[in-house]
């Protein structure tokens, strides 16, 4: 497992004893996975927050705008409203028992979340490409930044899947470029996410997963988000609601190939997989 540290509001926090689990919190009714209506939106968020904490989430990852392929984004005003409501509930229910990450590509949402609610991490699917102010904003806020690989936007990204040098080489090159831009902007703590399902075909997702360990050349913590995604459901011809077992199997594979953080819908299963991986890793060393 990789040892790394993050500056969390001026305090250097060390990680690496065990992989981290980020529990997904959706304030968007357009989310692709809604196993229980009570789990999404204002009415059910408190329940989900409590469950994620009880099951061992290290990070609560809150999003107010679905980035499902082909789906248009909500307005900035609506996203700000949703995230503000979500953060109020998180602070009520979780306190400081987990780090809070904000899943947004908008710098205004990032600034509001950190300055008004003390959010700890910004998670940007576009790596700063969908808002030219994002990198400078994150640098000024002095928070860690999850930089994901994507091309275009959720509406057109699935038409942008050509990688002349192969998907792994293409993703590595483009991530390296975005990391360099983030560093130039003044961001110190960068976590990379290869962006499974974003501007990648089904076959490309699997090729990228098989080569996940090659991301080590970037010398950054790696977040993997494959929970219940179509790369699983299409490969196995199953529905999203039936994809927990397969998601857990793939999480275990990702951990063995260098993932440091798992972003998941089902915290308990991922926590158990991560803890067992850490136990095995101790014995291997």
Identify the pLDDT of residue 41.
Answer: 53
Helix (H, G, I), strand (E, B), or coil: what is residue 90? helix
Both structure tokens of 111: 């600034």
Which of 220, 240, 178, 277 lies closest to 3, judged by CA?
220
Residue 177 burial by Cβ neighbours in a 10 Å radius (0-12, 13-18, 19+): exposed
With respect to residue 13, please indicate whether it lies within any of the assigned structural domains: no
Instruction: Decide if 263 is catalytic.
Output: yes
Which of 272, 278, 277 lies closest to 56, judged by CA?
272
Identify the pLDDT of residue 42.
Answer: 65
Q: Give the helix/strand (H/E) hosting 74.
A: none
Identify the pLDDT of residue 73.
Answer: 76
Identify the pLDDT of residue 52.
Answer: 97
Q: How many domains does the chain have?
A: 1
Q: What is the mean pLDDT of residues 273-279?
A: 97
For residue 39, name the pLDDT band (cuts at 50, 70, 90). very low
Domain housing 40: 18-284
The active-site residue out of 82, 106, 228, 229 is 229
Q: Is the dihedral of CA 128, 131, 135, 137 positive or negative?
A: negative
Both structure tokens of 67: 């980035």
Is residue 170 scored above 50 in pLDDT? yes
For residue 221, name the pLDDT band (cuts at 50, 70, 90). very high
Is residue 200 scored above 80 in pLDDT? yes
> Which stretches does DSSP call E strand in the chain?
4-8, 11-15, 20-26, 59-63, 99-103, 121-124, 145-148, 190-193, 223-224, 261-264
In angstroms, the CA 163 to CA 171 distance is: 8
With respect to residue 66, please indicate whether it lies within any of the assigned structural domains: yes
Please state, for a pLDDT cut of 90, what percent of the chain lies above it. Answer: 84
With respect to residue 9, please indicate whether it lies within any of the assigned structural domains: no
Please state, for a pLDDT cut of 70, what percent of the chain lies above it. Answer: 93
Q: What is the CATH number of the domain that holds 234?
A: 3.20.20.20
Q: Which of 36-50, 154-168, 198-212 has the highest mean pLDDT?
A: 198-212
Identify the pLDDT of residue 140.
Answer: 98
pLDDT digit string, tens, across residues 71-114: 677 899 999 999 999 999 999 999 999 999 999 999 999 999 99
With respect to residue 7, please indicate whether it lies within any of the assigned structural domains: no
For residue 28, name the pLDDT band (cuts at 50, 70, 90). confident
The active-site residue out of 228, 263, 268, 271 is 263
With respect to residue 5, please indicate whether it lies within any of the assigned structural domains: no
């Amino acid at each position: 497992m990789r040892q790394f540290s993050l500056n969390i509001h001026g305090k250097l926090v060390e990680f690496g004893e065990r992989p981290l689990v980020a529990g997904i919190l959706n304030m968007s009714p357009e989310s692709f996975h809604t196993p229980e209506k009570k789990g999404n939106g204002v009415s059910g968020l408190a329940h989900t927050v409590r469950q994620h904490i009880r099951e061992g989430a290290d990070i609560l990852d809150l999003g107010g705008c679905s980035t499902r392929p082909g789906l248009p984004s909500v307005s900035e005003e609506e996203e700000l409203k949703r995230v503000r409501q979500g953060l109020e509930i998180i602070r009520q229910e979780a306190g400081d028992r987990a780090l809070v990450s904000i899943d947004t590509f908008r710098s205004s949402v990032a600034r509001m979340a950190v300055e008004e609610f003390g959010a700890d991490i910004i998670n940007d699917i576009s790596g700063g490409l969908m808002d030219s102010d994002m990198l400078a904003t994150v640098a000024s806020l002095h928070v860690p930044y999850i930089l994901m690989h994507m091309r275009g936007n959720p509406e057109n990204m699935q038409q942008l899947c050509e990688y002349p040098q192969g998907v792994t080489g293409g993703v590595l090159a483009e991530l390296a470029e975005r990391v360099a831009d983030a560093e130039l902007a003044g961001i110190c703590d960068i976590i990379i996410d290869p962006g499974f399902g974003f501007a990648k075909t089904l076959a490309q997702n699997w090729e990228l997963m098989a080569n996940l360990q090659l991301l080590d050349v970037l010398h950054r913590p790696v977040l993997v988000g494959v929970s219940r995604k179509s790369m699983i459901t299409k490969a196995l011809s199953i529905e999203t609601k039936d994809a927990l077992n397969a998601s857990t199997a793939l999480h275990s594979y990702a951990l063995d190939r260098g993932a440091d953080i798992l972003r998941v819908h089902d915290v308990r299963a991922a926590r158990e997989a991560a803890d067992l991986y850490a136990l095995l890793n101790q014995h291997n060393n």
